């Protein structure tokens, strides 16, 4: 409780002190002020940024509704396993508001729910996660101390760089949420450079800071987590962005058997370049050390791709990528994805299949080669297809047990497709399909093709 009390005190002090100093700079900052807007899709958070019309200037509101139908089969690569196929409906609703307390102070709030109905005869209560949760609850302060400094205090979304290692603070919550309980300070330096300093204080229990309505005591991670992020981003070079970062993460107080305890330190860099009108490239490298569950950890990872845009009427583009996360003969020594434990490129592999030889959503001990094709067949449709070849860095099996073969390292092949049809700016359909064909990394008991199908309708206001 001491940690929780200290964090609350720190939050209160930050809000009071920065609010006092920002109030004197309100008039000068009026011309420069820009409300923080979400860009793109972060964890499928598609919100209409303009909000509802008819409200006063100091208030912006909006809503979001996603109706999702999900089916998967052989997620553990075993067609004889009990409950090997699943079908459920998920309905996620969100209402958000941004209240402008002054020219430089916002209060941001978002209330959401995503109940699920599972079509399983073995469940006495197929209706689950029927609770309401605040997945955004923060104060944003700009021009603190009459400086180009922005502070965000409280529950918030984080997506830094490509989002590869910093995107999700609630890995066990699936697509329902991805928030961080954090203190974030962003300083705008000269020469198109920004510096972020972030303290993260996440807890496995959703009721630790703000108790959900109709709380079902659902854990959003396997253990409590604290961390520090130092992130620098520079855009001074034409058509090139260079980022560097340092991540510290402490995991403690395990709530599940798969939880971990220890400390990891990650140093990385990210370079994105628009080479010309057709070619784009991205290279991200990260080195890691520390200790986990009493064992020394030393790892390396990279995520890189090269894309060619045809710049034609159909907006065709092709991308070639390679991702590597170092492995070991001990899953505790795999490269730790830090806050990137999200199904970023597969719904069926990340979570269900990667847990066969490690922690769910880690997708580590991995070499991944991918070819991705994107096209707009019509003005309102987008088709995204990809082919992945997956290899293990090492085979940690002891004699071919636990679903793994004795020595194979070919994890398998993944085919993925997504079709999106936008009716208008507030309403669209999306359908996804995946097939995973296991390789010789798995033994004969885990050799069945895994299937994932999903269809959803999204409304935003």
Q: What is the dihedral of CA 393, 436, 175, 150, to 10 degrees?
A: 40
pLDDT in tens, 289-346: 999 999 999 999 999 999 999 999 999 999 999 999 999 999 999 999 999 999 999 9
**269: domain CATH number?**
2.40.160.100
Number of domains in the chain: 1
pLDDT over threshold 70, residue 172: yes
Measured over the CA atoms of residue 47, residue 50, residue 54 and residue 60, the dihedral's sign is positive
**Ranges 40-44, 138-142, 170-174, 336-340: which has the least confidence:** 40-44
Cα distances from 346 to residues 186, 286, 336, 353, 381, in angstroms, run 32, 22, 18, 10, 21
Identify which has the larger pLDDT, 97 or 124: 97
What is the per-residue pLDDT for 19?
Answer: 40
Q: What is the reported pTM?
A: 0.87
Q: Are 223 and 251 in contact (CB under 8 A)?
A: yes
Measured over the CA atoms of residue 12, residue 16, residue 22 and residue 27, the dihedral's sign is positive
Q: Which whole number is the average pLDDT over 368-386? A: 97
What is the Cα Rg of the chain in Å? 23
Q: Which of 12, 10, 11, 23 is nearest to 143 (CA)?
A: 23
What is the per-residue pLDDT for 15?
Answer: 41
What is the per-residue pLDDT for 285?
Answer: 98
What is the per-residue pLDDT for 384?
Answer: 98
How many CA within 13 A on the CB side of residue 110?
23
Identify which has the larger pLDDT, 190 or 189: 189
Domain that holds residue 100: 2-460
Helix (H, G, I), strand (E, B) or coil at 193: strand
Residue 79 bridge partners (DSSP)? none
pLDDT in tens, 390-433: 999 999 987 777 899 999 999 999 999 999 999 999 999 999 99
Residue 436 bridge partners (DSSP)? 414, 450
Q: Are strands 132-141 and 127-128 parallel, antiparallel or unpaired?
A: unpaired
The helix (run of H) or strand (run of E) holding residue 189 is strand 180-189
Q: Which of 425, 392, 384 is nearest to 409 (CA)?
A: 392
């Amino acid at each position: 409780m001491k940690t929780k009390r200290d964090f609350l005190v720190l939050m209160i002090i930050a809000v009071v002190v920065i609010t006092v100093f920002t109030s004197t700079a309100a008039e000068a900052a009026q011309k420069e002020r820009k409300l923080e807007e979400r860009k793109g899709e972060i964890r499928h958070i598609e919100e209409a940024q303009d909000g509802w019309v008819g409200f006063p200037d100091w208030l912006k509101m909006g809503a979001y509704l996603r109706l999702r139908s999900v089916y998967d089969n052989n997620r553990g690569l075993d067609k004889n396993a009990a409950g090997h196929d699943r079908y459920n409906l998920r309905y996620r609703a969100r209402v958000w508001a941004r209240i402008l307390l002054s020219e430089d102070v916002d209060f941001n709030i978002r209330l959401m729910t995503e109940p699920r109905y599972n079509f399983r005869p073995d469940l006495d209560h197929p209706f689950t996660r029927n609770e309401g949760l605040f997945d955004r609850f923060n104060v944003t302060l700009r021009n603190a101390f009459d400086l180009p400094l922005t502070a965000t205090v409280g529950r918030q979304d984080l997506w830094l760089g490509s989002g590869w290692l910093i995107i999700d603070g609630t890995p066990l919550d699936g697509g329902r949420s991805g928030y961080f309980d954090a203190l974030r300070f962003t300083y705008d330096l000269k020469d198109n450079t920004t510096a972020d300093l972030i303290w993260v204080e996440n807890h496995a229990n959703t009721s630790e800071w703000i108790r959900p309505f109709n709380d079902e005591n659902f854990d959003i991670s396997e253990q409590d987590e604290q961390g520090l992020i130092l992130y620098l981003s520079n855009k001074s070079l034409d058509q090139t962005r260079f980022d560097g970062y340092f991540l510290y993460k402490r995991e403690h107080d395990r709530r599940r058997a798969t939880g971990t305890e220890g400390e990891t330190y990650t140093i990385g860099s990210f370079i994105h370049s628009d080479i010309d009108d057709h070619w784009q490239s991205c290279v991200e490298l990260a080195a890691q050390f520390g200790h986990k569950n009493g064992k020394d950890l030393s790892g390396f990872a990279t995520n890189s791709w090269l894309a060619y845009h045809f710049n034609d009427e159909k907006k065709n583009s092709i991308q070639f990528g390679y991702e590597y996360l170092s492995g070991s003969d001990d899953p505790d020594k795999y490269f730790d994805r830090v806050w990137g434990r999200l199904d970023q490129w597969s719904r069926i592999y990340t979570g269900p299949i990667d847990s066969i030889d490690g922690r769910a959503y880690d997708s580590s001990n991995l070499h991944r080669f991918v070819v991705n094709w994107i096209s707009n067949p019509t003005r309102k449709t987008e088709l995204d297809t990809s082919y992945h070849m997956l290899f293990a860095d090492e085979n940690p099996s002891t004699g071919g047990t636990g679903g793994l073969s004795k020595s194979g390292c070919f994890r398998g092949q993944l085919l993925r497709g997504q079709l999106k049809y936008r009716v208008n700016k507030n309403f669209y359909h999306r359908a996804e399909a995946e097939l995973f064909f296991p390789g010789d990394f798995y033994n004969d008991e885990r050799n069945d093709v895994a299937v994932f199908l999903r269809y959803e309708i999204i409304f935003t206001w």
